[in-house]
Amino acid sequence: KAGVTQTPRYLIKTRGQQVTLSCSPISGHRSVSWYQQTPGQGLQFLFEYFSETQRNKGNFPGRFSGRQFSNSRSEMNVSTLELGDSALYLCASSPGAGGHSTDTQYFGPGTRLTVL
């Protein structure tokens, strides 16, 4: 089974621009979660999607948004980029049985975003 894939792997943007990152989960997985990793703040939960619905959200400003498609692929978008958005963005997928699921999450390699 192929693992979680994320595209692109590296991205350079300038302040004020917007960016879209893509995540393809493991086949059959319906839950996709996104995390931001920075040296200062560590790993922080952004949001989680299951069956095209956002079920959970972390403490990030509205500039961070996401969506999930019917094939479970997910995208996250960051608008009006700031220098502090430079980070490794990780996507994770799990079977996601629904409700208070505690399935194991499997992570992709991440997208390294640099904002200049």
CA distance 75 to 29: 15
Per rule CB under 8 A, count of chain residues that contact another protein: 29
Tokens at 82, concatenated: 């700031």
Q: In the window 27-66, what residues touch another protein (CB under 8 A)? A: 31, 33, 35, 42-43, 45, 48, 50, 55-56, 58
Residue 49: CB minimum distance to another protein, A: 9
Cβ neighbours of 113 (radius 10 Å)? 20
Site string for another protein, 62-101 (x = CB under 8 A): ----------------------------x-x-x-x--xxx
Residue 87: CB minimum distance to another protein, A: 13
DSSP 3-state percent helix, strand, coil across the chain (nearest 5): 5, 50, 45
